[in-house]
Amino acid sequence: MDSTDHAVLKTCVEWLSAGRRVALATVVQTWGSAPRPLGAWVAIRDDGQLVGSVSGGCVEDDLIDRVSRDILAATLPQSVLYGVSREEAARFGLPCGGTLRLVVEPHPEAEVLRMLLERTAARKLTARLLDLDTGKSTLHDADRTDTLSFDGHVMRAIHGPRWRLVLVGAGQLSQYVAQIAIGADYEVVVIDPREEFTATFGVAGVTVSRGMPDDVIVELQIDVHTAIIGLTHDPKLDDMALMEALKSPAFYVGALGSRINTEKRRERLLEFDLTRAQVNRLQGPIGLFIGSRTPAEMAISILAEITAVKYQVPILQRRSIPEPQLIERGRCIDSLSTV
């Protein structure tokens, strides 16, 4: 599964390589409530086909018309503003009077985009600097703290995964979590020293390590753009990773398990060189309570919770059913869900 960013880039390069004319539009500024974040982009082909999005759809309709009417005939990139008035915001599907500014390139440089595609495919975080006065762009290394900037003359867009997800365990649940995370533009690392699990782990774009979890966590140099989850249900492996993860600046640290098992894990972790404050960072049971039963549904609930923490949104969808009631047909529901 490609991230949206990579899919737009890949298709744009394919169209340009086939000799088609393509316009590339990137969100560089938003005011009020905007449907898409900074850096969202769309590629529009000369026949009106498009990939990606910069709004809920109405802006794209207008862009297709502009591209066929005058943008492709232009020489240099231009800044386009949508939603100046409430009437125009309503017309273009921008909620609550939102406004967005786009940088539209009528002649994106095919060779630069090809190099960018190679870098993002290799999971290299890259900054593309576009000079609106010349139409020329250059590529530079970037890091996870970089964000898009635009001063009216130069756009500096960041491409590649700014967020990283580390999964301990290469089981079936990890495969579903990894697939969704790749689509959400995370760099995904899976750690599992058990050969019988890593041998069958087949999610494209994921880095798989067979090292010991605590050693790999240290080697990864965890930062505030990283989430770490223990998914083996084996304390010997999950706890090893958590001992290092909870000391790191990771924005999310969690592990699979019921409330009872999570409290037991917290008590175990206190026996090591962790403070109470560090142990209290552990998220568990992980995942929003959505009644999940299958590994795919569990993965959705886990990524939903990580997304909420990532954007500092209060998590309200917690399980409220007392633990002893979580029994169905002789086995604990917790064995089938993440919460």
Angle at 25 between CA 22 and CA 29, to 5 degrees: 170
- Report how many helices (DSSP H) and strands (DSSP E) the chain contains, helices first: 11, 16
H/E run at residue 140: strand 137-141
pLDDT of residue 288: 93
The answer to whether 82 touches 95, Cβ cutoff 8 Å, is no
What is the rounded CA–CA span in Å between residue 186 and residue 207?
A: 12
The answer to whether 72 touches 22, Cβ cutoff 8 Å, is no
- Spatial strand order of the sheet with 186-191 comes to 207-209, 186-191, 163-168, 226-230, 252-255
Adjacent-strand bridge partners of 164: 187, 226
If one looks up domain 163-335 in CATH, what number appears?
Answer: 3.40.50.720
Q: Kindly give the confidence (pLDDT) of every residue in the chain, 339 residues in length, as a single tens digit, with 9 standing for 90 and above.
A: 456 678 899 999 999 999 999 999 999 998 876 677 899 999 999 999 999 999 867 789 899 999 999 999 999 999 999 876 666 666 666 655 578 899 999 999 999 999 999 998 888 899 999 999 999 999 999 998 899 999 999 999 999 888 999 999 999 999 999 999 998 889 999 999 999 999 999 898 899 999 999 999 999 999 999 999 999 988 889 999 999 999 999 999 999 999 999 999 999 999 998 999 999 999 999 999 998 989 999 999 999 999 999 999 988 766 554 444 443 433 333 433 443
Closest CA to 74 of 132, 10, 152: 132
Closest CA to 22 of 4, 10, 6, 30: 10
What is the rounded CA–CA span in Å between residue 98 and residue 37?
A: 12
Domain positions in the chain are 4-159, 163-335
The answer to whether 257 touches 203, Cβ cutoff 8 Å, is no
What is the rounded CA–CA span in Å between residue 272 and residue 244?
A: 11
Question: Torsion angle of alpha carbons 259, 263, 265, 267, nearest 10°?
Answer: 180
The answer to whether 207 touches 188, Cβ cutoff 8 Å, is yes
Considering all CA atoms of the chain, what is the largest pairwise distance in Å, rounded to the nearest integer? 70
